[in-house]
Amino acid sequence: MREFPPGPFYPNGVGKMLKTPMDSLPNNAVPTVKCVDPLPIGAFPLPRCISNEFAYNLGPSINLNNLKQQSELRSRRRTNHMATWFGQYISFDITVSLTTIPSNPIYIPADDATFNPPSSIPGELPAKGVTSLPFNLSEVLPGTSDPLNSVRNGVSLVSPLLDLDMVYGAYNAPDGTFKTIRNGTSCYLLTTDNGKYPPKDDSGNYIRSTSTSSRSWTLFTMAINTIWIREHNRKCKDLFDIHGNSWTDQRYFEEARRWNIALFQKTASEEYLGTVLGRPLPAYEGYKPDVVPGIDTFFATVSFRYGHSELSDSYRIQDMYGDTIYDLPLERTKEENLLEAFGLDRVLSSMALHRQEEVDVFFNDASRNLNFSHIYDLYAFDISRTRDRGIALYNVFREAYGLPRKNTWEEVTSNKYISNRLQFLYPNGPDTMEAFVGAFSEDHLDGSNFGELLNASIVTQVCICIFSCFFFFN
């Protein structure tokens, strides 16, 4: 759904993404646009140019300046990566959507330091056919006649409730039917390795619910998933020790599931959100039938992508003594088989011992050059997604959430380096700044990981999830 503001922002017409310098080039022109070029009137910076302005650029060398900068870019509140990956795990439960409509890709500027370094030959990459990074548009409602010229909110594939769809959701079985990981009609969930890890399919891959299969699972999110599967099975045993054969298998399963979801809701709303917000949520007032359940487009597209800013270039896997046994590059976190290679205890404790990056407008180098089947720039990707979904500009959203407009860069941030970069990207001031960039540039609230806009959005959305859920724990 789209709550704040009620209308999508497509200044070039319905469904037309924000104008960039590329729009002024003929289709057959060799791309020559540079980030340093003045923007045409009404145009917005290329997504890759925004990404480049806030790159870490630490480089592989080890020196005092790099170490100092790396420390400053990490969480000032010393929040660990357990919060990073638990936040992503929650996102699997409430914000899954598909992005499969072919689109104009993310253009690589001619002065890109990574793809077009000063030592390269002008036009070398275009000559090889390398001029862009891949990008697809969000799906629209089924039956939409003209998806390229429609409002693309991002159709959700999961319920807007904290209900552990990752554990209890159905998956596509090899026989073409939908099944769950419940072990037949018993109380227990299927596992492997004598209850230690989640169940696997015939190919040896961990089973994921259909609605979350498109998400970027890692060994860290799978480790968290393992905890909730184990907790369900532990509760089954505890209940049987109390009630014996007096309950049916179905009643045992329902009671264990209810307990597990309630514990997940409590952990998410009190411990996780209490940590990252730095303050408790508004008091729970019970189920409110007038609150319409749904996930706001701004929350799904901007606010709850804050975890992308927390990602590190690598992750220290540590032994029981705190010694690093392996530095795991970001791109290898998708190798879920490493969960068993390192062991669940080591993976969980390593998350807790590793300080995450600060939630800010800077993204680490690895996330800007992710090497999967293609090269991806997560920063440029997120910027493009906000344009795809018609996310309005920064001050429009501040007003929508009851916050005062920002009139100068100094009101947005006290960081002079950031304000200078914002002035370069958006020379006409905060009124022309995109919401994603502005939300992550704001000074943080006292004791919080977020500035005013992210805080307001997250609190508003979580309250909708809680108050619209008839079965929320209390």
Name residue 132's beta-bridge partners: 107
Q: Give the tokens for residue 72.
A: 């400053």
User: pLDDT-derived band of residue 323, with 50, 70 and 90 as boundaries?
Assistant: very high
> Has residue 217 been placed in a domain?
yes
> Has residue 474 been placed in a domain?
no
| Structural domain for 25, as ranges | 2-468
Predicted confidence (pLDDT) per residue in 211-255, tens digit: 887 778 999 999 999 999 999 999 999 999 999 999 999 999 999
| DSSP 3-state of 303 | helix
| DSSP 3-state of 194 | coil
Q: Which of 93-97, 151-155, 399-403 has the highest mean pLDDT?
A: 399-403
> Has residue 435 been placed in a domain?
yes
Provide the domain count of the chain: 1
Where does residue 446 rank: exposed (0-12), middle (13-18), buried (19+ CB within 10 A)? exposed
Tell which wins on pLDDT, 55 or 27.
55
Distances (CA, A) of 266 to 269, 290, 409: 5, 23, 38
pLDDT of residue 56: 73
Which of 118-127, 337-346, 358-367, 415-424 bottoms out in mean pLDDT, i.e. has the lowest?
Answer: 118-127
Which helix (H) or strand (E) is 458 found in, with range? helix 452-467
pTM recorded for the entire structure: 0.92
pLDDT cut 90: percent of the chain above it: 67
Report the half-sphere exposure of 340 (CA within 13 A, side-chain side): 14
**pLDDT > 90? residue 118:** no
> Has residue 473 been placed in a domain?
no
Mean pLDDT across the chain = 89
pLDDT of residue 54: 92
> Has residue 9 been placed in a domain?
yes
pLDDT of residue 155: 78
Q: What is the mean pLDDT of residues 196-216?
A: 90
pLDDT cut 70: percent of the chain above it: 91
pLDDT of residue 124: 54
- What is the rounded CA–CA span in Å between residue 376 and residue 130? 13
Which of 4-18, 32-46, 260-274, 414-428 bottoms out in mean pLDDT, i.e. has the lowest?
Answer: 4-18
Give alpha helix (H) positions in 174-248: 219-243
CB of 264 closer than 8 Å to CB of 164: yes
- What is the rounded CA–CA span in Å between residue 384 and residue 463? 28
- Binding-site positions for heme b read 308
Name residue 137's beta-bridge partners: 101
Tell which wins on pLDDT, 430 or 70.
430
Q: What is the mean pLDDT of residues 107-122?
A: 74
CB of 445 closer than 8 Å to CB of 278: yes
φ, ψ of residue 111 in degrees (nearest 5): -105, 25
pLDDT of residue 26: 62
CATH of the domain at 193: 1.10.640.10
User: pLDDT-derived band of residue 66, with 50, 70 and 90 as boundaries?
Assistant: low
- What is the rounded CA–CA span in Å between residue 267 and residue 209? 21
> Has residue 184 been placed in a domain?
yes
CB of 358 closer than 8 Å to CB of 444: no
Distances (CA, A) of 120 to 89, 125, 133, 387: 41, 9, 19, 31
Tell which wins on pLDDT, 178 or 8.
178
Report the half-sphere exposure of 5 (CA within 13 A, side-chain side): 17
**pLDDT > 80? residue 440:** yes
- Binding-site positions read 308
Q: Which of 70-74, 372-376, 386-390 has the highest mean pLDDT?
A: 386-390
Q: List the one residue out of 227, 224, 222 whose CA is nearest residue 336.
A: 222
> Has residue 154 been placed in a domain?
yes
Q: Which of 170-184, 213-227, 440-454 has the highest mean pLDDT?
A: 440-454
DSSP per residue over 96-152, as a string? -B---EE---EEPPTT-TTTS-TTSPTTHHHHTT--EE--EEPP--TT-S-GGGS--
Q: What is the mean pLDDT of residues 369-386?
A: 85
> Has residue 128 been placed in a domain?
yes
User: pLDDT-derived band of residue 119, with 50, 70 and 90 as boundaries?
Assistant: low
Q: What is the mean pLDDT of residues 275-293?
A: 94
Tell which wins on pLDDT, 78 or 122.
78
User: pLDDT-derived band of residue 143, with 50, 70 and 90 as boundaries?
Assistant: confident
Tell which wins on pLDDT, 6 or 125.
6
Q: Give the tokens for residue 311.
A: 């990602």
Residue 288 backbone class (left: φ over 0; alpha: ψ -120 to 50; beta: rest): beta
Q: Give the tokens for residue 118.
A: 């000063």
